[in-house]
Every structure is written in C-alpha cells, then in structure tokens.
Amino acid sequence: MNDSTADTFVSDEPVPVLAFSGTGSPPPDPSKRSRLKESLSNSKLKEKIQDGAASRSETGFSLQDRLLTKLLQQVIPTDAIDEVLDLPPDKRSSKYIGRPGFSIPLMTNNFRRFNSRIGIVFVFQTRLIRLLTWKNPTHTLSLLAVCTFVCLNPYLLAVLPFAAVLLFVMVPAYLVRHPAPPPTISHSTYSLNGPPIAPPRTIKPAPEMSKDFFRNMRDLQNSMDDFSTLHDAVLKVITPPTNFSNEALSSTVFLFLFVSSCALFIAPHLLPWRLIFLLFCWTSVALGHPSVQRFVLENRESHLRPHERKAQSMLDSWIARDIILDAPPETREVEIFELQKRKGGRKGEWESWIFSPNPYDPLSPQRIAGERPKGTRFFEDVCAPTGWEWGDKKWILDLGSREWVEERMVQGVEVEVEGERWVTDLVAEDESTGTASKTAKNTGPGWAEGNGQGPVGEWRRRRWIRMVRRKGVKVPSP
C-alpha cells in the first residue's frame, strides 16, 4: 500500500485563441534608443551574465551553452547603457533585483521546468471556459446558484475557500484511495469499509518529449497570443480617452471619474450592492450562451447601433457645449545680457562683445576662474528655450537695472539708473602707486550709482527681456 500513482495535469482540449477584428501582431519597429544601444562600444557590455556564468559551469552545461553565454556577454545590452545614455533608472535593472542575469541555457532549463508544470493552469482555464460557455448547462446553472447565494449573503464568501478544498481536493483524493466498486461486482459482496485499497495519487511534472509536454507547449503558445491580442485590444479602447490626446474627451472622463469618486465616497451605503452584483453575475454568464451571443450579433446593427450613435452624438454635443479648454498658454520672461568690453585701455571706447545668459559680473564663477563669457555675437541668434516660443516681436531694455543688481547681489559695479542702464565694473585706486587696479570697490551694498564717466573697469553689461510662451504639441489625428 506504499505505492502511489503519479498523474500529470494537462488539458486535452486546446485553449481557444482570442481574435479581434483589425488586430494583429505588428512587426517590431526598432526605436532610436535601440539603434543607439546597438551602436555603442562593446566595452560597456562585458559585465553581462556574471552571476550565472560561474554557476552554470558547475551544473554541467555543455560546451556549446557556455560558448553561447560568452557570446551574449558581447552583444546583449547591459544596464550600463542607461548610464551612458543618461536615462532614468529602471526598477527592473539588476541593480535593484538580486537575481541571475539573462542566459540562454538558464532560460531553456527554466522553460522546460515551467512547461512541465503549467498543465494545471490550462486545465483550470479550459474548465472555466467550458463552464462560462454553457458546454454543460447543469454545471453553469450550478455556478449561477452559487453566485446567487454569495451575492444575496456576502458572508458566504468565507465558506468558499474551505468548501472548494473539500470538494475539489479532499474528496477526490479520498475516492482515489477508496474507489467505488466495479460495475461487475454487486454492492452486497463489495465492502465499502476497511483500509484503503488503492495507492494515493501524486502529481508529477509532465515528462519531456511526452504528449502532455507538447500539449502544454501548444496551450502556452496560444495563451501568449491571447494575451497579446487582449492587451492590444484593451489599449485600443482605453488609451484614446485617457491619454489626453483628445483633451476635451479626456477632461470629460476625468470629470466623470471625479464626480463618481466623490459620490461613492459619500453615499455608498445607499446603493443596493447585492442586487448590483447579482445582476452583473447573471448578465455576464448569460452573455456567454451561444444563443444569446448569436441574438446580440444579429440584432446589433438594427437595434444597438442607432442607440450607440445617438449616445455618441449626445456626448459630443455636451462636450462641445460644456467642456471649454480656452486656458491661455503659460508665459514666462526670459533675459539676455549684452556684454561690452573696453578697447584700448581705460580711456578707450566700448566694443560690443557678446550676448550671454549670465551678467559676467566681477564675482561670477566664470570671471573668478578666468574663463571667457559664453554666448552669441548677434542678437538675432538668441533662441527661445526648448519647448517655448517667442511671445512678442522684439527685446525690451530692462530699465530697472538697480533692481536686478540687488536681486542677484552683484558687487563691485557702477549702476546707471538713467540713460542706457549700463552696469559697469568698478576699479579702486591703488593708494601706493595711484594707478587703477581691476578690483571691485565695495561701497555700501557692494555697488554704486553713477553715469559711467568715472574710473570703471573693462566690462559692462545691460539686461534685455522678452516674453516667451509654452509651445503646444500638435497631436496628429488618427
């Protein structure tokens, strides 16, 4: 009685494949990011699969597997690519997950183990499909009876896990060890009491190259296609109204969800939830009946389509009437500094030098480091920031030179409060030699008012301002 019978879970019937009109598996479109990854140097790719290489040599993989692993170290992109491209961190990166890296031998071994054990999932999937498609009406009606009891008395949900274990695990396991009498033996001569007369059933993985193994591969292949098709169909329905490609429609969905959330937060106890879930269960199961599906498809064009078009028309008119998206684009003020440099010493004339985003004042980091100011030589070459466009036609001279000097805490300069509003470097007289040196003169707040006629340094600047507005992105119509 110590022997046991080994069974494998496998679905005898193929899992149905989902199909939607107008959907398919498009060919992969290589993106700019992937092409850039492929063009990078292989020096960044040599650290791939380091965790699994040593362990695989110990587990007895063939020489071909180890050579293939070494080859993958040279051609498969690693996480270092994201650092080179300055991309945001991916939480699936090996930095955050302490699991083995990608490996063809390891992937093959795991797939074999997975495929030999996934049969129970496909068995459950097949039985659920048969149950919901009314292959056996008595089973489906039993499911509806259970759903009715649970909907009318939600406390029965606590009973379902225990009842499921009893009916689908314990009872079948007991009947295996205590089988019913054969039909050729009468019950009067067959004793139902006594010790078990059959070995217990154990579940083992499907052997490789067996019929069950290939059935699991078939169902796994069809399930991958089902997921891809369902994924594309769901995105096709959900994405347009939720990604704000049509802002009026997405705003309507946002408003509806916000109002519904507030209403359900305040008054959920007023809704007949038991009746709602009961109707939902019966309607969902009834729609799986072949006769109901045939009736819906035959009468959709004549009965449902007119109501759908009418509802869509009412929604569009309400959106056009009540959803107003006339907010002006965001506007900002940008600045540029016109720098001039004195030519020919202290008494020379000023020469237009450059237009720079920084004032290049005496205490600026660029000035202290001895670097030259950065910018463009001509006013026409100054461009708006990325994602913005000019909001007016020309630059305006900032007449508040004193204000921006105080805001930036610029020191060692002379400020013109009238005229051309130049802010010029100050020089201090060397008491020992009586000559002018290019050091900032600290007068009170660090700057002084003047008209540019006294002893000044070799640089001066003034500020120009201009308005920019946020540039909108035009979404192409589908």
pLDDT for res 198 = 86
Alpha-carbon dihedral angle through residues 162, 165, 166, 172, given to the nearest 10 degrees: 180
pLDDT for res 457 = 79
Q: Is the pLDDT of residue 213 over 90?
A: yes
Strand pairing report for 456-470 and 423-426: antiparallel
pLDDT for res 410 = 84
Q: What separation in angstroms does the CA of 426 have from each of 73, 134, 280, 441, 452?
A: 62, 93, 82, 6, 10
pLDDT for res 126 = 92
Q: Which residues pair with 464 in a beta bridge?
A: 336, 397
Q: How many residues does the structure list for the chain?
A: 478
pLDDT for res 57 = 42
Closest CA to 76 of 31, 40, 112: 40
Give residue 319's pLDDT band: very low, low, confident or very high (50, 70, 90): confident
**How is residue 376 annotated by DSSP?**
B
Question: pLDDT per residue over 159-170, tens digit each?
Answer: 999 999 999 999
Strand pairing report for 5-7 and 201-203: parallel
Give residue 112's pLDDT band: very low, low, confident or very high (50, 70, 90): very high
Give residue 323's pLDDT band: very low, low, confident or very high (50, 70, 90): confident
Collapsing DSSP states into helix, strand and coil, what is residue 447?
A: strand
pLDDT for res 13 = 66
Span of 61-65, 123-127, 185-189 with lowest mean pLDDT: 185-189
State if pTM tops 0.85: no
Question: pLDDT per residue over 396-436, tens digit each?
Answer: 998 888 888 888 888 888 888 888 888 888 875 543 344 44
pLDDT for res 50 = 46
Count of other CB atoms within 10 angstroms of residue 228: 14
pLDDT for res 29 = 47
What phi-psi label fits residue 49: left (phi over 0), alpha (psi between -120 and 50 degrees) or beta? left
What is the spatial distance between Cα 344 and Cα 377, in angstroms, rounded to a whole number?
A: 20
What is the spatial distance between Cα 144 and Cα 89, in angstroms, rounded to a whole number?
A: 48
Record the tokens describing residue 212, joined without a space.
């069950």
Phi, psi of 354 (to 5 degrees): -165, 160
Q: Determine the residue type at 253.
A: V
Give residue 472's pLDDT band: very low, low, confident or very high (50, 70, 90): confident
- Which residues neighbour 290 within 8 Å (Cβ) at sequence distance 6 or greater? 133, 134
- Which residues neighbour 219 within 8 Å (Cβ) at sequence distance 6 or greater? 11, 14, 15, 118, 122, 125
Q: What separation in angstroms does the CA of 406 have from each of 194, 400, 423, 424?
A: 101, 10, 12, 14
Share of the chain above pLDDT 70, in %: 71
Question: pLDDT per residue over 28-67, tens digit each?
Answer: 444 545 544 444 444 444 444 444 444 444 445 667 767 7
Count of other CB atoms within 10 angstroms of residue 457: 23
Q: Which residues pair with 343 in a beta bridge?
A: 349
Q: Look at 101 and 189; give whichever has higher pLDDT.
A: 101
Span of 255-264, 442-451, 465-474 with lowest mean pLDDT: 442-451
> Please, are residues 446 and 411 in contact by the beta-carbon 8 Å criterion?
yes
Q: Mean pLDDT score of the chain, rounded to an integer?
A: 78
For helices 50-58 and 104-117, angle between their N-to-C axes, nearest 10 degrees? 70
> Please, are residues 72 and 104 in contact by the beta-carbon 8 Å criterion?
yes
Record the tokens describing residue 156, joined without a space.
């029965």
pLDDT for res 164 = 93
For helices 211-242 and 247-266, angle between their N-to-C axes, nearest 10 degrees? 100
pLDDT for res 114 = 94
* Residue 373, Cβ density class (10 Å: 0-12 exposed, 13-18 middle, ≥19 buried): buried
Span of 225-239, 252-266, 390-404, 422-436 with lowest mean pLDDT: 422-436
Q: Is the pLDDT of residue 185 over 80?
A: no
Give a three-class secondary structure readout of 163-213: HHHHHHHHHHHHHHHCCCCCCCCCCCCCCCCCCCCCCCEEECCCCCCCHHH
Question: pLDDT per residue over 327-352, tens digit each?
Answer: 778 889 999 999 988 886 666 788 88
Span of 183-197, 309-323, 332-346 with lowest mean pLDDT: 183-197
